[in-house]
Amino acid sequence: DEIGDHGDARPAGSSGVRLSVRVGLLLGGLRETASQETTHRADLETHLLRAGATGPLEGAEARARLVREVANALLAVQPQWKLFGYGEREPAVNNAALEQSYRAAVDDFRLRAQGAPGTPGEGLVVVALVLATRAPLQGVSRLDDVTQVRALLEDRARLLSSVLLGAEVFWAPELKGAGLSEATVMVRFPEMQRLP
């Protein structure tokens, strides 16, 4: 997704718009064994497919719908949450700076997701949602507070296309049916903290 490539969502750096890149990560645990028929990752993917949120992201509304559906899918599997991480970059002064910051975040998480050594069967899956927005979104003051995590996802589930400038979702590991050990997750995604 190119920043500001969808008409009215293009920010103007001289207009005083606060441009931000927000990075949220939520970890759902895959505690099933390889012999079981379904995993929580499969549940998430099924939810997104039913919502039609896995096709090409053409335009602001398609991106916003993806964010909303990812948030709703994660809310639906709250009992499986194991770790959570969240971060924001400094507000950008113009569109070029926002593009650079957003791309840096996207490239970082893509690299970490692609290099995650998944193992078929049991493990954990990281879902990383990288957003670029024209206004501040709800954040968290504590990474280990499930109530705040839920409120953040509920906020993302209401995201309007007029606020969103870019969105990408990453899975780690990328291999379906695979999981990561908690030790591997904490090395590759040190932003995360364990949820109670």
Question: What is the pLDDT confidence band of residue 174, given thresholds at 50, 70 and 90?
Answer: confident
3-state DSSP call for residue 14?
A: helix
> In whole angstroms, how far apart are CA 136 and each of 19, 84, 89?
8, 20, 11
> Which amino acid does the sequence have at 112?
R
Look-up: residue for tokens 């109530």?
147
Q: What is the pLDDT of residue 159?
A: 93
What stretch of H or E contains 61? helix 60-76
Q: What is the pLDDT of residue 145?
A: 95
What stretch of H or E contains 106? helix 95-114
Q: What is the pLDDT of residue 144?
A: 92
Q: Are 63 and 161 in contact (CB under 8 A)?
A: yes
What residues pair up with 141 in beta bridges, in sequence order? none
For residue 72, which phi and psi values (nearest 5 degrees)? Answer: -65, -40
> In whole angstroms, how far apart are CA 117 and each of 13, 16, 87, 174?
40, 43, 24, 9
Question: What is the pLDDT confidence band of residue 158, given thresholds at 50, 70 and 90?
Answer: very high
> Which amino acid does the sequence have at 95?
N
Average pLDDT, the chain: 74
Contacts of 59 (CB under 8 A, 6+ apart): 6, 7, 161
pLDDT by residue (tens digit) across 37-91?
345 556 665 555 444 444 445 677 888 988 898 899 889 888 888 889 888 877 7
Question: What is the pLDDT confidence band of residue 148, given thresholds at 50, 70 and 90?
Answer: very high
Q: What is the pLDDT of residue 42?
A: 61
